[in-house]
Structure 1
């Protein structure tokens, strides 16, 4: 790893060799890669497994934990899981009426998402706010993130890193809500996680288009759309690629001009007709509501501990292993 690069840029560099290896592997594989799926901010497939709670809860566990995080459940005995989940229910029940509604479940799941985001921002903040004044100038961030390249530019990497630096500066300025050319903690969080802040969602759309629009004509054609997730010239396309072509033609390209403009790209990566948090909240309530009154008691939730322990309701399983939640 090159010295002088900050955490965010290190992640970008570390990902490069993996992506190159992945691109080679996908030539021989027919399974769908994950890069493109990550572009869709709120409509990702939750798991590649079949959702059949009659057999197991693996879908729920992988959907909201990922394969590795789902193993957290194995660290707890059923008795300990039930005990800690019971304590957690008291926090989810915000109005303290003894019941957890779908809205309270949604609020809790969103809270766990936001908590992770702010914890991530706090970790990175310490890397950049070296003088501990609670503010961050663009020059501070730039020098910490791109300092090595600024001192010793590499001809091979110069263009790509110059482009990334320009994009970072643009996003940094857009996150600066008060226009003082400084980022406070909240503005820095928005800079790192623009998809979670309404005023920065347009930059997510713009950056997505810039990544995929290879001929720089301001729109995304079907070849660019497919090329963003699959590139194996001369080989027969797997079925999932053919399905994606149909998705583009039938659903992505709404005005049927053969291209996705900015509005169509926004609808693709930020669909308005599906809220995965609401869907999960409704799923948890429906599966646990034994008396079908539309709300959950503590007993009903604890009885379904094996479902909840692997869902977003328990902060990807971490809330059951972290004592500071209690």
Structure 2
């Protein structure tokens, strides 16, 4: 049986690639768009931010009339309080929702694998048995690095308990999402930091010195000289990572490094869209104002499209 620890795999996969490995530990939120935000060159950024990257591709194939029709239906969903206006709060929430869709799809992809009794929840026992069941029964005797597998089990259990906010031993879809993608949830920041320190802190003193920091990404062989990027990382450690200049990274400093407090691009995009379409300057937009600027929100190439592009109509 092959070990299938998704949480451990996702974390370890992020640090197992080529140099500079250290940057692989930094957790960034998903980008709103692959395009630069320059309305002078078109509205591609706005389309992907508003619709999501995949849905924007579908809209590019629709005629203007079809784009407007679908946009009108979307506006009804964004206006959650049904007052006839889209506020900044509502638009911000919608854009964040689209931004998180890739995470939701990842969770959905693996949900049935772990929800063994089909009760729409995943218990720790279900996850543990699916992931480690065979090995636990043998006390990991059939694997070479027994200590690593036991450490992975301990790590997964700690993360699962942190995600399980009501401590009932089972994860709802939201809790399981926090388990798989802890960087997306404020209450999971601590466990991400603990896991990072646990990976790098070789002497077990609960903090990271410069040798551990460098050793995590570069081990010289046969007198090999440090490449320039490693020299740069040493300087990063002393000049920026070690904020209090005591020669170590403590938990707070590790948090600043691996979980940077980024600009809320969804908030900025919501403000931008409202500013660009709010003709009466009341800080909210109506369906009429949005449809008058439909090309900014959804766009269209007015091309002849295939029937398959209509299949996701009800998913928006």
Report SS of the residue matched to 2:272. Answer: helix
Judged with a 3 Å threshold, the aligned counterparts in structure 2 of structure 1 residues 54 and 256 are, in CA distance, closer, same or farther, namely farther
Answer with 1 or 2: which has the greater Rg.
Answer: 2
Judged with a 3 Å threshold, the aligned counterparts in structure 2 of structure 1 residues 107 and 181 are, in CA distance, closer, same or farther, namely closer
Q: CA RMSD in A?
A: 4.4
TM-score w.r.t. length of structure 1: 0.68
1:87 aligns with 2:73: yes
TM-score w.r.t. length of structure 2: 0.70
Judged with a 3 Å threshold, the aligned counterparts in structure 2 of structure 1 residues 154 and 309 are, in CA distance, closer, same or farther, namely farther
1:284 aligns with 2:270: no
Q: Deviations over 1:162-218 (max 9, x none)?
A: 322210011223334444444455543443343444443321221233344455442
Aligned residue in 2 for 1:169: 157
Find 1:302's aligned residue among 286, 291, 300: 291
Q: Is the 8 A contact 1:92 1:105 kept in 2?
A: yes
The separation in 2 between residues aligned to 1:61 and 1:249, in whole angstroms, is 42
Unaligned runs of 5+ in 2: 300-309
Q: Is the 8 A contact 1:212 1:224 kept in 2?
A: yes
Judged with a 3 Å threshold, the aligned counterparts in structure 2 of structure 1 residues 72 and 218 are, in CA distance, closer, same or farther, namely farther
Aligned residue in 1 for 2:198: 210
Aligned residue in 2 for 1:317: none
The separation in 2 between residues aligned to 1:245 and 1:78, in whole angstroms, is 54
1:147 aligns with 2:133: yes
Alignment of 1:1-326 (within 5 A): 3=1, 5-6=3-4, 8=6, 12=10, 22-23=17-18, 35-37=24-26, 39-41=27-29, 50-59=36-45, 71-112=57-98, 120-133=106-119, 136-150=122-136, 154-156=142-144, 158-213=146-201, 216-221=204-209, 234-237=226-229, 242=232, 249=238, 251-271=240-260, 274-309=263-298, 322-325=312-315
Q: Is the 8 A contact 2:51 2:98 kept in 1?
A: no
- Bigger Cα displacement from structure 2, 62-71 vs 117-126: 62-71
Judged with a 3 Å threshold, the aligned counterparts in structure 2 of structure 1 residues 247 and 278 are, in CA distance, closer, same or farther, namely farther
Aligned residue in 1 for 2:305: none
Deviation at 1:271, TM superposition (A): 4.7
Judged with a 3 Å threshold, the aligned counterparts in structure 2 of structure 1 residues 79 and 175 are, in CA distance, closer, same or farther, namely same
Q: Deviations over 1:35-90 (max 9, x none)?
A: 344x145xx77667643322234555677889777644444344322221121012
Q: Is the 8 A contact 2:200 2:208 kept in 1?
A: yes
Q: Is the 8 A contact 1:219 1:262 kept in 2?
A: yes
Report the count of equivalent residues: 300
The separation in 1 between residues aligned to 2:57 and 2:33, in whole angstroms, is 15
Unaligned runs of 5+ in 1: 311-319
